[in-house]
Chain A
Amino acid sequence: MSDERYHQRLENDRHTYRLAGTGNRSFTSVADDIGHIDDLVAGYVLGALEPDETSAVDAHVRTCPSCQVSLADAQRTASMLPFVVPMQMPPIDSKVALFARVAHAQRAAAESTLPLRGVEAWRTPTLPTSAGGALVHAGSDGSSSSTAGVTTSRGSRTGWFVSVLSVPLLIALVATGFWGLQLQNQLSSQNSQLTELQSQLANFGSGTTSYPLSPGFDDPQAEGQIVIGSDGRAGMLQVDVNSKDAAGAYELWVNQDGKLVPAAEFTVGQDGKGQARFELDQPFSDYESVHIRAKALDSGQSGSQSDTLVRDSSGALGSTGSGLEISP
């Protein structure tokens, strides 16, 4: 197609764009074609389309090989734009922080026995659907807080927790015959509580959805998840701030119509871990975002605090992220 003819067609169609199935077309590249998603390609690769336009392009290219080529062509050009920026080097701190985060994620993944890949194994645990769940109990120093625990489906952790609870009691029962009967009663009572909690967790685990949280500005090493029950309102929160200096009171805030509303309080212990159960006024999916923050000294004020962990309704990630890979 000659330049003259091309520009004539361009002029004729400059204010319109058409999706597939319109007009007679016989083109070899986007430069030669007016129609399809041609008017949207540039905006698409430059990230300048409205969401509905982006969706239209995504839907169209799935079934249009020609436009796939056009889009790839334009993306190649757009991908060169970052290189026009003069080089500036980041501080060494950035590298240290990145690899500390990577190392931690690797350790966390290694602790998992689930046959999942990399850090995702830790970030996307699910509640057990059977009564094999674990019990997380408040520590004797109150550091773990929370009235009930969140359990993952990792078998080793389950066994560990049960062992922690049961073994000392069993040893005491055998070693101290005088107190045997009393201890047996205690054990029976605890077993009963354990069975009850396991039952609750099993019920909760049916139809639950797990939402990974992402680190915010305050604690870039923090990790956590929220598990929402089948009713969409009851939830469990589990966080690991990954810092021994982060112990203290924390709050879960939900963004309701642009306003942050407290939903739960919990304590992060010296081990950096904390958990809580909560009940939301609205279904979880109705909130624009959730934020985990260290509790302000001035109670009830979210103030200008930065997030420890965060997630928004699109699955977008915390301090810097986007929702590219995580579905709500």
Chain B
Amino acid sequence: MPASDEVGSPPDLIEASDADLIGRAAQGDARALEVLYERYSGVVFSFALRIVTDRPLAEEILQEAFFRAWQQGGNFSAGRGTFITWLLSITHNLSIDEIRRRRRRPQKADSEEPEQVLASVPDTGSGADVEDEVWLGALRDTIGQALAALPPAQREAIEMAYFRGMTQREIAEALDEPLGTIKTRMRLGLQKLKDALGSDGAELA
């Protein structure tokens, strides 16, 4: 494996865009993949950990997500979105699949009360550079504020779906609410998020 971290990577790679890097990685350049890993492993790992709430499992998902990104990098199209949103969609699918798989196999973890996404969890540092950290911190604040501004019922519906892998029907049953109500909450909540995030969302995607 390449021994260097991003700091030790060639300057042209460090400066390269995500799209360029994944293109090079798809051509077999593991250093390019390593630069992407240094940039985004924290985001991917944190996201997976939030969903599966199990560190070893989140580590597996992290590896699998980057491995798949490397395998399928040739299919990535910058015109359809950014690399990080693509990578996080892979991560989301992997994580949700895993918790649904666990749900089919009764485990004590299913009885635990899932953490709230907006609960305060201290940062433990990041491998990303300072500029990235600042950008990610600002982005997290913006999205956190937008989520916090939602009516609790709408926020809850979004959270149960996106971070806990529950279907609308499952959410309706869990909350003892009509299915239509849950659908409406999701729709309105997402719309309000879009309005609140405005250009931030467009910039990211």
Instruction: List chain A positions with a Cβ less than 8 A from chain B.
Output: 10, 14-15, 17, 31, 38-43, 45-50, 73-91, 93-103, 105-106, 117-120, 217, 220, 316-317, 319-325
CB pair B90 A324 closer than 8 Å:
yes
Contacts of B49 in A (CB 8 A): 85, 88
B59's contact among A41, A93, A101, A105, by CB below 8 Å, is which? A93
Contacts of B190 in A (CB 8 A): 41-42, 45-46, 74, 77-78
Contacts of A80 in B (CB 8 A): 139, 143, 193, 197, 200-201, 204
CB of A213 to closest CB in B, whole Å: 14
- Taken together as a complex, chains A and B put the C-alpha atoms of A101 and B168 apart, in Å, by 37
Q: Does B186 contact A (CB under 8 A)?
A: yes
Taken residue by residue from 46 to 60, chain B's Cβ proximity to chain A (1 for < 8 Å, 0 otherwise) reads as 110110000001111
Q: Taking CB as reference atom, which chain A residue is nearest B3? A: A99
Contacts of A45 in B (CB 8 A): 190
CB of B27 to closest CB in A, whole Å: 9
- Taken together as a complex, chains A and B put the C-alpha atoms of A207 and B77 apart, in Å, by 34
Q: Does B19 contact A (CB under 8 A)?
A: no
Q: Does B21 contact A (CB under 8 A)?
A: no
CB of A73 to closest CB in B, whole Å: 7
- Taken together as a complex, chains A and B put the C-alpha atoms of A80 and B81 apart, in Å, by 12
B interface, over-half SS: helix
CB pair A118 B140 closer than 8 Å:
no
- Taken together as a complex, chains A and B put the C-alpha atoms of A60 and B158 apart, in Å, by 23
Which chain B residues (155-205) contact chain A, with CB distance < 8 Å? 158, 161-163, 165-169, 171, 178, 180, 183-184, 186-187, 189-191, 193-194, 197, 200-202, 204-205
Contacts of A49 in B (CB 8 A): 167-168
Contacts of B194 in A (CB 8 A): 31, 73-74, 76-77
Contacts of A47 in B (CB 8 A): 92-93, 96, 161-162, 165
Contacts of A46 in B (CB 8 A): 158, 161-162, 186, 190
Instruction: List chain B positions with a Cβ less than 8 A from chain A.
Output: 1-2, 26, 28, 30, 33-34, 37, 41-43, 45-47, 49-50, 57-64, 66-68, 70-72, 74, 81, 85, 88-94, 96-98, 117-118, 120-127, 133, 136, 139-140, 143-144, 147, 158, 161-163, 165-169, 171, 178, 180, 183-184, 186-187, 189-191, 193-194, 197, 200-202, 204-205
CB pair A90 B139 closer than 8 Å:
no
CB pair A94 B63 closer than 8 Å:
yes
Given contacts A50-B167, A74-B190, 19 further A-B contacts (CB under 8 A): A46-B162, A76-B81, A76-B194, A77-B194, A77-B201, A79-B85, A80-B201, A81-B158, A83-B139, A86-B122, A88-B121, A88-B124, A89-B127, A94-B41, A94-B45, A95-B41, A119-B71, A316-B97, A323-B97
CB pair A321 B97 closer than 8 Å:
yes
A322's contact among B66, B94, B204, by CB below 8 Å, is which? B94
Contacts of B88 in A (CB 8 A): 79, 82
Q: Taking CB as reference atom, which chain A residue is nearest B59? A: A94
CB pair A322 B97 closer than 8 Å:
yes
- Taken together as a complex, chains A and B put the C-alpha atoms of A220 and B89 apart, in Å, by 22
Most buried by B among A14, A17, A95: A95
Contacts of A100 in B (CB 8 A): 1
Contacts of B200 in A (CB 8 A): 80
Q: Taking CB as reference atom, which chain B residue is nearest A39? A: B183
Most buried by A among B98, B168, B171: B168
Q: With contacts A49-B167, A89-B124, A97-B63 known, is A42 near B162, CB below 8 A?
A: no
Q: Taking CB as reference atom, which chain A residue is nearest B141? A: A84
CB pair B92 A82 closer than 8 Å:
yes
CB of A310 to closest CB in B, whole Å: 11
Contacts of B161 in A (CB 8 A): 43, 46-48
CB pair A98 B167 closer than 8 Å:
no
CB of A1 to closest CB in B, whole Å: 13
Q: Taking CB as reference atom, which chain A residue is nearest B74? A: A117
B202's contact among A31, A76, A84, A118, by CB below 8 Å, is which? A76
Contacts of A79 in B (CB 8 A): 81, 85, 88-89, 201, 204-205
CB pair A99 B47 closer than 8 Å:
no
Most buried by B among A77, A96, A320: A320
CB pair B140 A84 closer than 8 Å:
yes
- Taken together as a complex, chains A and B put the C-alpha atoms of A316 and B96 apart, in Å, by 12
- Taken together as a complex, chains A and B put the C-alpha atoms of A162 and B131 apart, in Å, by 58
CB pair A90 B121 closer than 8 Å:
no
CB pair A42 B187 closer than 8 Å:
yes
CB of B160 to closest CB in A, whole Å: 8
CB pairs A–B below 8 angstroms (12 shown): A43-B161, A43-B167, A43-B183, A48-B186, A79-B201, A89-B124, A89-B127, A90-B41, A90-B42, A105-B71, A220-B60, A321-B94
Q: Taking CB as reference atom, which chain B residue is nearest A31? A: B191
CB pair A90 B45 closer than 8 Å:
yes
A89's contact among B121, B126, B162, B178, by CB below 8 Å, is which? B126
